[in-house]
Structure 1
Amino acid sequence: MKKFSFLALFLSITITAFSQGNNYVQNYNKYENLALTPPMGWNSWNKFACNVDENMIRQIADAMVSTGMKDAGYTYINIDDCWHGGRDSLGFIYPDPVRFPSGMKALADYIHSKGLKIGIYSDAGSQTCGGRPGSRGYEFQDALTYAAWGIDYLKYDWCNTEGLKAEGAYKTITAALRRAGRPIVLSICEWGNDKPWEWGPQVGHLWRTTGDIYNCFDCIKDHGTWKAFGVMQILDKQDGLRRYAGPGHWNDPDMMEIGNGQLTPAEDRAHFSMWAMLAAPLIAGNDIRSMDKETQEVLTNKDVIAVNQDSLGVQGFKHETRDSVETWLKPMKNGAWAVCFLNRSTKVKSIEFNWQEKPIVDELSKRELNTAVRQYKMKNLWTKKDAGTTKKVLKATIQGHDVLMLALTEIK
C-alpha cells in the first residue's frame, strides 16, 4: 500500500511537471489573417537612412493622407534603422530621446489617428546594420515593448548575426510577438541567403528575396563585401520564386526607389508596374512630402495598384522575351488577367502580339488565357484608355525602359 501511494505521488508530480513545462512550448507560427494582400506603405531608409525623427515621421503621415496615398491603399508608416536610443537597467529598449522626445507610443497614437499603421525596425543580431541595439537576447522584451507602443509592423534585419541560423532566429522573434499578444506583420529581411521562401510562409508575412535595392534601373553597385542591385537585377532574381507567394506570405524584392531622382519617369512606371505584376509589397521609399506630380501619379495609380492587390494573390510570370521586350502575365480574380510588356532596351521597340496564336497556360494557378474560347476587352493602365479587344493583333511601340500595361476583362 505504501509502495502504491509513493508511485501514485511520483506519477502525480511527474505529470504535473510535464504539464507545467508544456505551458512554455513556443508558438513559432505567425499571426494569421494579416497581409492577405501585399502590404502597402512607406519606409524611411531609401531616402533618409539614419536621419529620422518624430517630426519628420508625423509630416510623412500627414502627407500620406494629403497626397491621396492613403486613399490609394497605402497603410504603413515604417521607421527603419536608427530610431533606437539604448536599453534601460532592465534591458528594455527605448527610442532616441533627442530624435523622439515624445516617445514611440505618442507617435504611434498620432499615426493611428490618421487611419494609418506604424512599423518599426530591429535586427536579429547584437547590433542593427546602423550600429544600434539589436534584439539578440532581448527578443521577448522587445516584442512586449512594441506591443505596448502599438506597433503594427516589424522589419527584422540580419546584420551582426554571427553563429545564428536564420530560420531559428526568425522563429524566436515570431514566438516573442505571439507571446506579446499584439498581431504584428513580420517582415523577414534576411536578404534571401538562407532561402526564406522555403520556411518563411509559416514564420512571417513577407521575406526579402535579395540584397538591397540600388537607386538605378539596370546596374549593380559593388560595395566590396556586398552588392546592391538595380531594379532589373532584382527583377531577374525573382525567377523560380512565385510558387512560394500568396495571401499572407509574399516574396519581397525590397522597397521602391520611385521618386528618388535617379530613375526617369518611364523607369518609375516600369518599376511600379513590375512590382505590381510580382505581387510585391508596395513600400514607397521617397520623400512623399515634396514629390512632384509625376511621382505622385505613379504611386497612386489605382488601376496598377489593383493588379498588385488582387485578392487571388498570384504572382505574375514572364511568358516570353522578344527583342529586349519581355511579356509578363498575372492571373487575377473573376477570370481577368494583367499583361505587361517591359522594354528593357534603351531604344524604342515595336511589338506585335497575336492573342489568337496559342493558349497561354499557367500551371501554378491552373488558369488559361485562350482567346479562341473567350474574348477580352483591354484597358491601358497608364493612359487609362480603351485598348480594344483580343480579337485583333496588338500592335504598339514602347519607349526605352518603359512598359505597356493592360488589364484584360472577359467579354461575357
Structure 2
Amino acid sequence: MNVRHDLSVVSAPSPAKRAPLPARSRLALACGLMLLASTGMAQVNGAGHAPYLGWSSFSQQTIDPGFLTQENMRRQSDALAASGLQEHGYTYINLDSGWQGGFDANGRPTPDPATFPDIKALIDHIHDNGQKAGIYWIPGVEEPAVQANSPILGTALHIQDILAVPHRAGNAFGGPGESPYHYKIDFSKPGAQEYIDSVVALFASWGVDFIKLDGVTPGSYSDDLRIDNRDDVAAWSKAIARTGKPIWLTVSWAVDKDYLNVWQAYSNARRIDDDVECESRCATLTNWPRIEKRFRDLPAWQDAAGPTKGWNDLDSLDIGDGEGDGLSVDEKRSAVTLWAMANAPLYLGGDLTRLDDTGKQLAGNDEVIAVDQSGRPATQVVGGDLPVWVSDLGGGRFYVAMFNMNATPAVVELPWRVLRVNGARRLRDLWRHRELGPSLGAYRAELPGHGTQLLLVEALPGSVPTSPSSAYEAEQASLSGTAGVASCVGCSDGLKVGGLGLGADNAVAFDRVFAPRDGVYFMQVDSLTLGLRSYVYQINDGPLRTFNSGGGSFQLPSSSNLPVCLRRGFNRIRFGNAVSYPPDLDRIVVHGRGDAALPAAVTYEAETATLGGAVTSGFSNYYSGLAKAGNVGGGAANSVTFSSVRVPVTGRYQLEIDYATSGPRSLFLTINGGTPRRLDLDGSSFDDPVAKVLEVSLKAGMNTIALGNPDSPAPDLDRIVVAPLVKYAWLGASVDECPR
C-alpha cells in the first residue's frame, strides 16, 4: 500500500513527507478526543475568557530589522493610547522575537542592554497607559546557557542536568545532532520544571501579562516527535499558575490538531497557521494570498474554539499602514471579518505611530468587535469561491459573513434554508451600521473582489427540515494509480484514501453518486491535510474544477460544502490533482434538493491548460490548485492556452488573470485567434499571485484564450476566472449552466 502523507512547506520546493501516526499516538489522540467530548475544559491561567485585542511588533520587524527597541515600543504604547482604539478594547502591546540579548547567572533570558536597557521600566510605562505587556520566548534552552551550565534557581542542579540525552532540538528552530543550539529539556528529570518556573517568575517580576511560546511541535511544520513540545507547554502553563498572576499563554505556530487536547488544556490560544507576513518574499507587510490561506485552514479548526476551549489565533491584522499593508480596503475588511467570525485574537501589526484612518475605522467598529467577543466561533456552511460563515447565537439570532474569494465582483446568494430557517425578519449590515429589512427565501448581495458583507440576522419563527443526504466513503470508491486506503482515527469509518495527485492516474472516483433530479446540490468534502492542498475534481464529463483546501491534521477531517451541478440519476465524481498535492480524502456527502445556488464564475487552472513550448507546470504553495505554469513567454510557442472556455451567450464578460512576477513584465492576451492585447503587469514576488481584472468579449459556446509573450519573459500564471458582468449576475446570469 503506497499512501503518502505529505506536508507543504512554504520555503521548500516541494512538500516534505509526513509519516502516519504510530499506534500509541493514534490511541492517545483517540483518548484525547473522548476527553474533549466528555468534559468541559475551563480556560487556564486566569486569562483567555475572551479573545484579546492589541498589537504585536512582529509584522513591522519583518520590514524594519531595527524596529524592536525599548524606545520604539514605548512609542507604540503611546500611539495606541492616543489612537482611540484602547477605548474599543485594544490593550495588549506584545514584543516578539529579538528582545533578548543574553542569560543571567541562572540561565534565564535577559534583555539586550543596547536595545532594552530597562525592560521593567518599559512594562511599567505600558501599564501606566492602561495596557498589558506581552513577551516572546521558545521551548528548550539555548546554547549559551547550556555551555555556561548555569545553576537552576532554588535547586542544587544545573542546566545540563535537565537536558534530554542524547542531545536533540528543543523546538522547531533547533538543528540536528548533538549541538542543536536549542536543546530539548527532559521533564522527567528533577529541576526541569523548576527551571521553567524560574523563567516565568522572572517574566512575571517584570510585569509580563502575556507569553507567546513559539516554535512549538508537533506543529510549526515539524512533526519530529523526538522534539515534541507538549511537555514544555504543560510546564510553562504550570509555571504561570505558580506565579498567581493571570498571564495569557499562546502556543505558536501552525500547531498540529492531533494534539488539541494538550493545547486546550494548557494554553489560552493556539496559532493554527504560519506567519501572515511576507517576510521579504513580497514588498509589503502581507498580501491577499496569505490572508486567503486562513480561509482555507480555518474550517479544520472551527470546532476547536470557544470560552472553555481557548481560541484559534490567525496571526496579526496588517490593516493600518495604507498601501504598505499589501491589501486593498476590501481585503482588509474581509480579513477583519474572518478574524471576528472565528473569535480570533484581534491584534494589529505595522507601526501604530502611522496608523491611518482606515485602520482605525476597521479595527474600531464596535459591532464587528462584538462578533469577535461573542464566544460563538462561526462555522463555514458554504465553501468554495463564495464561502459563507455562520455563528449561531441562539434564540433565532445569527451572525452571517459572506465572502468573495475572486477578484471579479460577484453577486452572492444565500438561501435561508442553509441556516435551517424560513427567512429573516431583520437584517443588519454590521460594517455599514445599516438596517436592511426582512428577507424571505434567499438573500442576495453584491460583493466587490475579495470583499465581504457581515450581517446580524434575526430569523423568522419556525425551522426548515434537514435536507436529504447520502454519504459515499472514499475507501469504497474506485481507486487508481497510487491511491490507497489507510487507517484514520477521526474518519467516518476509521479509514481514508491517500496517495492522490502528482499524476493524472492517481485518483479516487465515486461512480454512483445519486441525484433524484437535475440541479445544484451541496457536496460536503471531508478532507485531511496539514497546510494547503488542492483537489482538481471532475463531475461526469464536465470541466475540471478546483477545491482549494487546508487543514491541521491527517487524522481529523475538515469539512467544506461545495455547490455542484448533478444530473438526474447516477453521477461520477473524480478527485485528484495531476500536477500537485491534494488532501487525503475521507468521504463525500451529497445533500440538498437540487435547488441550491451555483456560483456564476468559472475557474480554469493554468497548469491544466495546454502548455506550449518551454512552459512547465509544478507545485507552488500559495496558488490555486497548489500549482502554476512557469517559463511563459520569451518565444511565440511559450504560451498557455485555455481551449474550452464556455459561456452561454455572446457578450461582454469579466476576465480575471491571476499571475505572479517580481518586477514589470507583459502578457499578450489573444481571444479566439483575434488581435493580441498587451497587458503590462507588475508585482513583487513569484511566490504569490496577483489578480488583473478586465472586460472581454466572448462568443456563445466554446472560446480559446491564449496568454504568452513572443519576445520577452512573461509572468507565471496561476489561473483565469470568467464571470458575467455584475449587472447580469443580478438577473441570474451565470457562466456555468446547470440543468434544473
2:313 is matched with 252
Secondary structure in 1 aligned to 2:336? helix
What does residue range 296-307 of structure 1 map to in structure 2 within 5 Å?
296-307=360-371
Q: Measured at CA, do residues 159 and 207 of structure 1 come closer, stay the same or move farther in structure 2, by a change above 3 Å? A: closer
Q: TM-score, normalised by structure 2?
A: 0.45
Residues of 1 paired with 2:135 and 2:314: CA distance?
Answer: 19
Show the 5 A alignment for 1:206-355: 206-215=269-278, 230-247=290-307, 249-259=310-320, 260-310=324-374, 313-321=375-383, 324-332=385-393, 335-355=396-416
Aligned length: 360
Is 2:197 the partner of 1:197? Answer: no
Question: Cα–Cα, structure 1 residues 90 and 351, in superposed 2: closer, same or farther, change >3 Å?
Answer: closer
Counterparts of 1:152 and 1:166, CA distance in 2? 22
Q: Tell me, in whole angstroms, the C-alpha distance in 1 between the residues paired with 2:173 and 2:58.
A: 11
What does 1:323-402 correspond to in 2, within 5 Å?
324-332=385-393, 335-355=396-416, 358=417, 360=419, 370-371=421-422, 375-391=424-440, 393-402=442-451
The residue identity in structure 2 corresponding to 1:93 is P
Q: Is the 8 A contact 2:381 2:418 kept in 1?
A: no
Please say if residues 125 and 158 of structure 1, whose CA atoms lie closer than 8 Å, have aligned partners that are also in contact.
Answer: no
1:364 aligned partner: none
CA RMSD of aligned residues (A): 3.0
Aligned counterpart, 1:43: 56
Give the match for residue 200 of structure 2.
143
Please give the secondary structure, in 2, of the residue aligned with 1:325: coil
CA separation of 1:253 and 1:345: change in aligned 2, threshold 3 A: same
- Distance in 2 of aligned mates of 1:278 and 1:391: 27
Letter in 2 for 1:288: L
Matches within 5 A, 1:177-192: 177-192=240-255
Greater per-residue helix proportion: 1
Match of 2:83 in 1: 67
SS at match of 1:289: helix
| Range 133-142 or range 92-101, more displaced | 133-142
Residues 1:87 and 2:103 aligned together: yes
Residue 115 of structure 1 pairs with residue 127 of structure 2: no
Deviation at 1:196, TM superposition (A): 4.4
Task: Return the letter of the residue paired with 1:306.
Answer: A
Matched, 1:404 2:453: yes
Matching residue's letter, 1:240: A
Please, which runs of 5 or more residues in structure 1 have no aligned partner?
1-28, 223-227, 361-368
Q: Return 5+ residue gaps in structure 2 as ranges.
A: 1-41, 143-170, 175-180, 186-191, 283-287, 462-740
Q: Which has the higher contact order (CA 8 A, sep 6+)?
A: 1
Kindly tell me: are residues 42 and 130 of structure 1, through their superposed partners in 2, closer, same or farther at Cα, counting changes over 3 Å?
Answer: farther
Query: Do the aligned partners of residues 390 and 117 (structure 1) sit closer, same or farther apart at CA in structure 2, a change above 3 Å counting?
Result: same
Could you give the per-residue CA deviations for residues 139-180 of structure 1, whole angstroms, max 9, x where no partner exists? 222101011111100000117998431211111111222223
Q: Offset of 1:114 from its aligned partner? A: 1.2
Contact kept? 1:123, 1:135, Cα under 8 Å: no
8 Å CA contact retained: 1:40, 1:281: yes
Give the secondary structure class of the aligned counterpart of 1:170.
helix
Question: Could you tell me which amino acid in structure 2 is paired with residue 141 of structure 1?
Answer: S
Q: Name the CA distance, whole Å, in 2 between partners of 1:247 and 1:80.
A: 25
- SS of the aligned residue for 2:446 comes to strand
Structure 1 residue 32: deviation in Å? 4.6
Q: Distance in 2 between matches of 1:213 and 1:359?
A: 31
Q: Deviations over 1:164-217 (max 9, x none)?
A: 31211111111222223322110011421364433211100001112222349x
Distance in 1, matches of 2:201 and 2:172, equals 22
Contact 1:331/1:338, CA 8 A, preserved across alignment: yes
Change (3 A) 1:135 1:106: farther
Contact 1:196 1:209 in 2 (8 A): no
Residues 62 and 114 of structure 1 are in contact (CA less than 8 Å); yes or no, is this contact kept in structure 2?
A: yes
Pick from 121, 130, 142 the counterpart of residue 106 of structure 1.
Answer: 121
Specify the code of the residue in structure 2 equivalent to 1:279: N
Report the CA distance between 1:320 and its aligned residue: 1.4
Shifted more, 378-387 versus 152-161: the winner is: 152-161
Confirm or deny: 8 A CA contact 2:46 2:247 kept in the other structure. Answer: no
AA partner of residue 35 (structure 1): G
Say which SS state the counterpart of residue 59 (structure 1) adopts: helix
Residue identity matched to 2:47: L
Cα distance in 1 for partners of 2:431, 2:440 equals 22
The answer to whether the 8 Å contact 1:359/1:371 transfers is no
Distance 1:96 1:134 in 2: 21
Distance 2:55 2:356 in 1: 16
Answer whether contact 1:166 1:194 (CA < 8 A) is retained.
no
Residue 74 of structure 2 corresponds to residue 58 of structure 1:
yes
- 1:65-96 CA distance string (max 9 Å, x none): 21111111112110001111211223233211
1:96 alignment partner, one of 109, 112, 115: 112
CA drift at 1:40:
1.2
Return closer, same or farther for 1:113/1:411 CA change in 2, 3 Å cut-off. Answer: farther
Structure having the higher strand fraction is 2
Task: Say which SS state the counterpart of residue 388 (structure 2) adopts.
Answer: strand
Match of 1:19 in 2: none
Q: Is the 8 A contact 2:43 2:307 kept in 1?
A: no
Aligned-partner SS, 1:377: strand
User: Structure 1 pair 396/196, CA: closer, same or farther in 2 (3 Å)?
Assistant: same
Q: Distance in 2 between matches of 1:41 and 1:73?
A: 8
Q: Give the 3 Å change call, closer, same or farther, for CA 321–157 of structure 1 in structure 2.
A: closer
User: What TM-score does the superposition give when structure 1 sets the normalisation length?
Assistant: 0.79
Equivalence map 1:3-22=2 (5 Å):
none
Q: Deviations over 1:275-332 (max 9, x none)?
A: 111111111112121022112211111111110111xx2211111147x211111123
Residues in 2 aligned to 1:57 and 1:303: alpha-carbon distance in whole angstroms = 29
Residue pair 1:215, 1:257 contacting (<8 A) in 2 also? no
Q: Distance in 2 between matches of 1:135 and 1:292?
A: 44
Between 1:66-75 and 1:154-163, the stretch displaced more is 154-163
**CA gap 1:55/1:209 in 2 versus in 1, 3 angstroms:** same
For residues 110 and 50 of structure 2, what CA distance do their matches in structure 1 show?
32
* Aligned residue identity for 1:342: F
Kindly indicate whether the alpha-carbon contact (under 8 Å) linking 1:122 and 1:134 is maintained by their aligned counterparts in 2: no
Secondary structure at the residue paired with 1:238? helix
